[in-house]
């Protein structure tokens, strides 16, 4: 495994009151960095003071978007710091690399670098339940070149941000608009990758949804505009007649780690689950028949986000009287209980990093 160098910061920042800063606004004192070029491969793994970066105006990422990222979290469990499913996130990072033709990283080196970074920054991991240290690894192309081609050089950075709830209103039902005009991704495209392009593709529709009074957009498939995909910052799950149903992984949606966690826990609880194609017509029918018991999103940033309203073609489906469903509530408490250490981790999701 490659050696990880360390450069000490001249001055440390004052730590903010996490309950006042929302999500993703403050960053810690250090970051992890590693570079790639054809001659050396991934090299020069280092933990260095957090700093702004300089790129050429011809940087290929700025022009053509060859970049990927991850989102994961570290938590305080009393006097310990843990991460949640870090290896699954790093494996997904390499899957995104594959889709974007970025050279895969040595997961063990990045994992070790991440553990060292979190250990260095352990004082930044918030102690309160519901708060965490959000971990953002990302890789971007660095060739200064205006031709459209796969870059020959890259940088990987990991930055850390102490966060509270992703949504300003915390754990409360959101209003989601089913999008039938714009599309996020199509099968065969980049949909499964955690790459900026998918988020760029969601911005305009998100704005339109906001203007109409909704919090987020639920995407339909890009070909028939018929099958449910994902919300963009979350996967989507339905409880229909006692079964947890979620769209299958078909290459155009993100293979969510929290989605996987929810399915694994539901199985542990003996609740039937199904990953399959679900059409919006099926959801409308289940709603009309009174079979649509709950709708909720899952994601690392949001954890579990109950959906109170699903708007489609100008009509609102009010789910569970607009209240948090009992399954979503129980799942939220279970996952946050695993994060905080109040619940025993029977499935090996939690990785110990360091004592305080």
Q: Does 191 bind ligand COI (CB under 6 A)?
A: no
Our CB check for ligand COI shows the closer of 297 and 317 to be 297
CA dist 92 and 86 (Å) reads 10
Our CB check for ligand COI shows the closer of 61 and 300 to be 300
Residue among 128, 131, 158, 153 at smallest CA distance from 142 = 153
Q: Look at the block and give the residue holding tokens 């073609």.
A: 313
Our CB check for ligand COI shows the closer of 84 and 327 to be 84
Residue 65 CB, nearest distance to ligand COI (Å)?
Answer: 15
User: What are the structure tokens assigned to 307, written together?
Assistant: 């959906």
Q: Which of 130, 173, 191, 299 binds ligand COI (CB under 6 A)?
A: 299
> Applying CB under 6 A, what is the total number of residues that bind ligand COI?
5
Are residues 40 and 34 in contact, defined by beta-carbon separation less than 8 angstroms? no
CA dist 256 and 247 (Å) reads 11
Residue 336 CB, nearest distance to ligand COI (Å)?
Answer: 15
Stretch that binds ligand COI, among 53-61, 171-179, 245-253, 296-304 (CB under 6 A): 296-304
Residue 299 CB, nearest distance to ligand COI (Å)?
Answer: 4
Residue among 89, 87, 50 at smallest CA distance from 72 = 89
Residue 5 CB, nearest distance to ligand COI (Å)?
Answer: 28
Our CB check for ligand COI shows the closer of 233 and 320 to be 233
Stretch that binds ligand COI, among 154-162, 212-220, 241-249, 293-301 (CB under 6 A): 293-301
Give every CB contact of residue 106 below 8 A, 6+ residues apart in sequence: 1, 2, 42
Residue 199 CB, nearest distance to ligand COI (Å)?
Answer: 6
Site for ligand COI in 228-247 (CB under 6 A): 233
Stretch that binds ligand COI, among 118-126, 179-187, 265-273, 294-302 (CB under 6 A): 294-302
Q: What is the DSSP string of 277-296?
A: --BHHHHHHHHHTT-EEEEE
Residue 71 CB, nearest distance to ligand COI (Å)?
Answer: 2
Q: Does 301 bind ligand COI (CB under 6 A)?
A: yes
Instruction: Please report, for residues 75, 76, 109, 226, 338, the alpha-carbon distance to residue 319 in angstroms, rounded to integers and kept in the order given.
Output: 32, 34, 45, 20, 27
Q: Which helix (H) or strand (E) holds 39?
A: none
User: What are the structure tokens assigned to 137, written together?
Assistant: 């690894």
Our CB check for ligand COI shows the closer of 280 and 301 to be 301
**Numbers of helices and strands, H then E, in the chain:** 7, 17
Residue 202 CB, nearest distance to ligand COI (Å)?
Answer: 9
Are residues 48 and 55 in contact, defined by beta-carbon separation less than 8 angstroms? no
Stretch that binds ligand COI, among 45-53, 115-123, 299-307, 341-349 (CB under 6 A): 299-307
CA dist 316 and 173 (Å) reads 14
Residues 266-285: x where in contact with ligand COI by CB under 6 A, - otherwise, as a string: --------------------
Site for ligand COI in 55-74 (CB under 6 A): 71
Q: Which of 300, 305, 336, 340 binds ligand COI (CB under 6 A)?
A: 300
Q: Does 162 bind ligand COI (CB under 6 A)?
A: no
Q: Which residue is nearest to ligand COI (CB)?
A: 71
Residue among 349, 177, 174, 184 at smallest CA distance from 262 = 349
Our CB check for ligand COI shows the closer of 178 and 302 to be 302
Residue among 212, 253, 214, 215 at smallest CA distance from 236 = 253
Residue among 334, 268, 269 at smallest CA distance from 298 = 334
At 199, is the secondary structure helix, strand, or coil?
helix
Return residues touching ligand COI (CB under 6 A): 71, 233, 299-301
């Amino acid at each position: 495994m490659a050696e990880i160098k360390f450069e000490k910061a001249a001055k440390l920042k004052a730590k903010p009151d996490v309950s006042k800063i929302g999500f993703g606004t403050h960053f810690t004192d250090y970051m992890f960095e590693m570079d790639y070029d054809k001659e050396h491969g991934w090299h020069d793994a280092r933990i260095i003071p957090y700093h702004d970066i300089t790129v050429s105006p011809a940087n290929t990422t700025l022009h053509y978007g060859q970049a990927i990222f991850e989102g994961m979290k570290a938590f305080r469990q009393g006097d310990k710091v843990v991460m949640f499913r870090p290896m699954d996130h790093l494996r997904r990072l390499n899957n995104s690399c594959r889709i974007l033709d970025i050279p895969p990283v040595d997961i063990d080196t990045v994992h070790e670098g991440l553990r060292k970074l979190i250990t260095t920054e352990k004082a930044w991991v918030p102690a309160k339940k519901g708060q965490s240290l959000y971990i953002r690894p990302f890789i971007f192309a660095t060739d200064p070149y205006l031709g459209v081609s796969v870059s020959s050089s890259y940088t990987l950075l990991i930055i850390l941000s102490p966060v509270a709830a992703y949504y300003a209103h915390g754990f409360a039902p959101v209003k989601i608009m089913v999008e039938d005009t714009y599309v996020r991704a199509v099968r065969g495209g980049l949909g499964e990758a955690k790459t900026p392009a998918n988020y760029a593709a969601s911005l305009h529709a998100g704005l339109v949804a906001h203007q109409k009074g909704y919090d987020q957009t639920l995407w339909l498939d890009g070909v028939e505009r018929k099958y449910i995909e994902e919300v963009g910052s979350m996967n989507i799950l339905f409880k229909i007649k006692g079964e947890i149903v979620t769209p299958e992984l078909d290459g155009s949606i993100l293979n969510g780690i929290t989605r996987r966690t929810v399915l694994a826990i539901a199985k542990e609880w003996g609740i039937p689950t199904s990953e399959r194609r679900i059409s919006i017509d099926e959801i409308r029918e289940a709603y009309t028949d009174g079979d649509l018991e709950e709708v909720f999103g899952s994601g690392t940033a949001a954890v579990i986000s109950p959906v109170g309203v699903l708007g489609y073609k100008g009509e609102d489906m009010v789910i569970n009287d607009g209240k948090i469903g009992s399954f979503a509530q129980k799942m939220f408490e279970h996952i946050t209980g695993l994060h905080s250490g109040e619940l025993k981790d029977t499935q090996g999701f939690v990785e110990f990093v360091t004592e305080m």
